[in-house]
Amino acid sequence: MEILRSPRELAEMRKAGLLVWQAHQRVVAMLRPGVTTAELDAEVDRFFAEHHAQPLFKGFPGAVPFPASTCISINEEVVHGIPGKRQLAEGDIVSVDTGCKLNGWCGDAAATYAVGRVAPEVRQLMDVAKNALSLAIALLDRCSRWSQVAAEMEAYVKKHRLSVVEAFVGHGIGREMHEDPQVPNFVGAQMRRGHGDFRLAPGLVIAIEPMVNIGTKRVRTKADHWTQVTADGRPSAHFEHTVALTENGPWVLTAGPNGETW
Ligand code: MG
């Protein structure tokens, strides 16, 4: 059952969300060919520590605990890439996902960035993934149930002959990073039968995170137990915001200081 948050609680979550936005800006300032993904991660880790926020990803349970404060996924890597010695190269796209907990409240956001100039089809992939997220945020106000939003996102992506990853979904967020409900970016057989659908009510806080592929929607896990790659090796993009529903419409809690979104 999803939890509805009070305006006062949302104001606390906004503080965590703003830090996540600012951590992303630190990464953006460092993006260039030659920088390693470990260097980007170290900057985010330092930033959260400076602000007395706990990184949510570090130590996240799995076959091996996740070892870093960010997931950094390059090109055909979809999500959950582990930062390391790999250097970014001109033409790469790099998905950075990070989250923190501040005063007991969580924020989580991801974006895919271009390193220099990227191929036109890759630029379009990034645009469609980002627009799918913007579309979902705009629709929160106009729809009464999540399945309606998910259907529009899925249709938008498919219209551009791209695919929506189904193996991973967004999530409720609040005191913990992953809370109910699950927030799929598509309408599956379950949801079509009414299972897992939820009402869009004021106080709901969800992390919406479309993952879009150029080729197949299928993914596989690499030997490091974490990194997800597309099954056909073609590029993937990922955008995420933590978003609250309020009486006055959607509130992007991981937006910039002036409400900027990806
Ligand atoms: Mg998330």
Per cent of the chain over pLDDT 70 is 100
170 Cα–ligand 1 center, Å? 6
Return phi, psi of residue 44, to 5°. -65, -45
Identify the burial level of 8 via C-beta atoms within 10 angstroms of its C-beta, where 0-12 means exposed, 13-18 middle and 19 or more buried.
Answer: exposed
* Residues constituting the chain: 262
pTM of the predicted structure, to 2 decimals: 0.98
pLDDT of 194 over the 90 cut = no
pLDDT of 223 over the 90 cut = yes
177 Cα–ligand 1 center, Å? 7
Per cent of the chain over pLDDT 90 is 98
The DSSP symbol for 13 reads: H
pLDDT of 3 over the 90 cut = yes
178 Cα–ligand 1 center, Å? 8
Q: What does the alpha-carbon distance between residue 240 and residue 237 come to, in Å, rounded to a whole number? A: 10
Q: What does the alpha-carbon distance between residue 242 and residue 67 come to, in Å, rounded to a whole number? A: 23
87 Cα–ligand 1 center, Å? 25
111 Cα–ligand 1 center, Å? 11
pLDDT higher for 153 or 1?
Answer: 153
User: pLDDT grade, residue 176 (50/70/90)?
Assistant: very high
pLDDT of 127 over the 90 cut = yes
Crossing angle (nearest 10°) for helices 120-139 and 146-159:
160
What is the CATH superfamily name and number for domain 7-252? Answer: Creatinase/methionine aminopeptidase superfamily (3.90.230.10)
Mean of pLDDT over the chain:
97
pLDDT in tens, 39-63: 999 999 999 999 999 999 999 999 9
182 Cα–ligand 1 center, Å? 10
Q: What does the alpha-carbon distance between residue 211 and residue 217 come to, in Å, rounded to a whole number? A: 9
User: Which residues make Cβ contacts (< 8 Å) with residue 80, sequence separation at least 6?
Assistant: 66, 71, 73, 97, 226, 227, 228
pLDDT of residue 2: 86
pLDDT of 83 over the 90 cut = yes
Dihedral of the CA atoms 139, 135, 167, 212 (nearest 10)? 170
Q: Where are the domains of the chain?
A: 7-252
pLDDT in tens, 208-217: 999 999 999 9
Based on C-alpha coordinates, what's the Rg of the chain? 17
Q: What is the mean pLDDT of residues 124-143?
A: 98
Q: Where are the alpha helices (DSSP H) in the chain?
A: 7-30, 37-50, 120-139, 146-159, 189-192
Looking from the CA of 159 toward its CB, the CA atoms found within 13 Å total: 10
pLDDT of residue 61: 96
Please confirm whether the linkage preceding 181 is cis (ω < 30° from 0): yes
pLDDT of residue 40: 98
pLDDT of 1 over the 90 cut = no
pLDDT of residue 50: 98
User: pLDDT grade, residue 140 (50/70/90)?
Assistant: very high
